């Protein structure tokens, strides 16, 4: 059976030819309709409908000088924190007619640089990145392109790029101070990889100046439920005594909680557990996880508004600090 040939998608020239006008006239109908007579405008629109013509983004970019595309570079999509951030970012960019393209970096500065080059090649008007640790090649690329770039998930007033984020050192200190105030002195800390992750490094620095910081037991693991479970298995092998566990993310806290339950260790009767992030699922675990709330959706909104303002007014935005807040639930208790 002979296959039917695919119909070619109509382009600007097809519309112009069928309407008996120039390509420039069709372009004006699409971009500045008031500059064209009513009669011509109606004729062109009739042909557009007849040919099922849809203007391409590339054509619009040629005419307007803008792609209206923003690029975002995040470590992973396999984390609810970044998913919530990106959802809020995209929502608020769309309100201003901007589209979002996302690339993942696996927390590798070299990968980030290559992905950034790819986004620049497709014509993004600005970039949004995670943290403040980037390769010299990345900084050189931004300097060469003069692209607006905002760093998120980290607040640093004196960084050379505008930051929109939270004080990571303060977030971990809020969690630790709560445990200390609850009478806990034997505390284990479960955190993600330190290499190339300035957010984890900052959270660790927040603990160093604290009372009893020298006695904290540190366990590095993958940021995943499995990673939290593995950390507890390693902790139990040390045969050390602990009354509380501080996790640098709620994902890790869930893995810790599940493994403690598997080992028949009751939370919070035997061990208190606190996380950082406040994932949507954290109130619904059993027991519900005490955590430090980080406003990631608000971060997406502020980042979007900052980029829009930067593009519209050519004004570099000021750094923006988002507050962290302790949320006490049922996974922690005061010691008698």
Instruction: Output the CA torsion 196→161→76→89 (10° steps).
Output: 160
Contact present, 164 and 127 (Cβ < 8 Å): no
Cis-peptide into 188, omega within 30 deg? no
What was the pLDDT predicted at 169? 96
All CATH 1.10.260.40 domain ranges of the chain, comma separated, are: 12-64
CATH class of 168-295: alpha beta
Q: What is the pLDDT of residues 40-54, one digit of tens each?
A: 989 989 988 888 887
* Burial tier of 44 (Cβ tally within 10 Å: 0-12, 13-18, 19+): buried
All CATH 3.40.50.2300 domain ranges of the chain, comma separated, are: 69-166+296-322, 168-295
What was the pLDDT predicted at 56? 65
Dihedral sign from CA coordinates of 241, 247, 253, 256: negative
Q: What stretches in the chain show pLDDT beneath 50?
A: 1
User: 12-64 has which fold?
Assistant: 434 Repressor (Amino-terminal Domain) (1.10.260)
In our burial notation (b when 16+ CB lie closer than 10 A, e otherwise), range 45-59 reads bebbeeeebebeeee
The count of other CB atoms within 10 Å of the CB of residue 157 is: 8
Strand order in the sheet with 217-220: 217-220, 187-191, 244-247, 272-277, 290-293, 325-327
Q: Tell me yes or no: is domain 69-166+296-322 CATH 3.40.50.2300.
A: yes
What was the pLDDT predicted at 5? 52
Q: What is the pTM of this model?
A: 0.83
What was the pLDDT predicted at 1? 47
């Amino acid at each position: 059976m002979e296959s039917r040939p695919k119909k070619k998608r109509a382009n600007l020239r097809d519309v112009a030819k069928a309407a008996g006008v120039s390509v420039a006239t069709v372009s004006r109908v699409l971009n500045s309709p008031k500059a064209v007579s009513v009669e011509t405008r109606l004729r062109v629109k009739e042909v557009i409908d007849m040919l099922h013509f849809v203007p391409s983004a590339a054509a619009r970019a040629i005419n307007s000088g803008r792609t209206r595309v923003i690029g975002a570079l995040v470590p992973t999509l396999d984390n609810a924190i970044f998913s919530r951030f990106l959802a809020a970012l995209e929502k608020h960019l769309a309100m201003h007619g901007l589209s979002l393209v996302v690339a993942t970096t696996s927390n590798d500065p070299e990968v980030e640089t290559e992905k950034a080059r790819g986004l620049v090649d497709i014509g993004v008007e600005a970039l949004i990145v995670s943290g403040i640790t980037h390769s010299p090649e990345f900084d050189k690329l931004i300097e060469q392109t003069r692209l607006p770039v905002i760093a998120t998930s980290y607040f640093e007033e004196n960084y050379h790029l505008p930051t929109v984020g939270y004080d990571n050192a303060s977030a971990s200190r809020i969690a630790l101070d709560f445990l200390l105030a609850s009478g806990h002195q034997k505390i284990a800390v479960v955190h993600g990889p330190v290499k190339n992750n300035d957010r984890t490094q900052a959270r660790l620095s927040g603990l160093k100046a604290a009372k009893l910081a020298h006695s904290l037991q540190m366990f590095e693991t993958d940021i995943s439920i499995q990673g939290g479970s593995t950390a507890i298995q390693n902790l139990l092998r040390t045969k050390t005594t602990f009354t509380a566990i501080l996790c640098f993310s709620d994902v890790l806290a869930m893995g810790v909680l599940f493994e403690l339950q598997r080992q028949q260790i009751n939370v919070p009767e035997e061990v208190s557990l606190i996380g950082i992030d406040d994932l949507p699922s954290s109130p619904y675990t059993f027991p519900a996880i005490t955590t430090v709330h980080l406003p990631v959706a608000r971060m997406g909104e502020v980042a979007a508004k900052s980029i829009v303002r930067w593009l519209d007014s050519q004004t570099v935005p000021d750094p923006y600090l988002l507050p962290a807040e302790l949320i006490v639930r049922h996974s922690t208790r005061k010691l008698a």
